[in-house]
Amino acid sequence: MNTTKNLGEAVGIQRQDIIDRTEEQTTDGLTGAVILGHFKRGRVDAPMEIHQGNIRGQLGYDPKNPDYIAVQDCLDTGVPSVQVLRLKGGKNFCVEVASYYYRIYQVTTMPPIQPDETPEFLSSITVKNLQGEPLSQSMYSLDQSGTNIRITVSTARESGFIFCSNREVNIFSVAM
């Protein structure tokens, strides 16, 4: 470039490179997260702050639940805490049950239900006809002895019914 006393630097073409910073990571790592999911325990009215020290107490230990695993994985990566909001209703598992002459069935949960989980499980049960229409509670009864649960369907159609609850179940027919 030419420099003179009168003009200073000569007029010319100047090149300034454009620096693309769109893919640069601006923080060292994830410092917070929010997870919505279904858990055994926890508040449903406001988010909870979950960390390694309180995850089991606040959410209930559930290593087979994908939502619980997501929270645990997030904490395992070094995030100090996670905001967790428990969704109402829980997951819904349904199984179609074939008609049986005596109409009495043994309900077995997978994994086995714990005594403190039984009331929530019983309240989550719905029974439907094969068209998906709920049966009234006068059409079936639940009998519970500890964690042993039986269902008697008095007016099931010849083809069977659909059993839905918040846990996976096996249903076996029982002879009288």
Write out the two tokens for 101. 């002459």
The per-residue pLDDT of the chain, averaged, comes to 79
Rounded CA-CA distance 165/23 in Å is 46
Domain chopping of the chain, boundaries: 34-86, 93-173
DSSP structure class, residue 77: T
Q: List, for residues 44-63, the tens digit of each pLDDT value.
A: 788 899 999 999 989 888 88
Whole-model pTM: value is 0.50
Instruction: Tell whether the model's pLDDT for residue 110 goes beyond 70.
Output: yes
Q: List, for residues 2-60, the tens digit of each pLDDT value.
A: 555 555 555 665 566 777 767 665 555 555 568 888 887 888 788 899 999 999 989 88
Residue 156 neighbours by CB distance under 10 Å? 21
Rounded CA-CA distance 84/48 in Å is 5
Classify residue 85 as exposed, middle or buried by CB count within 10 Å of its CB (0-12, 13-18, 19+).
middle
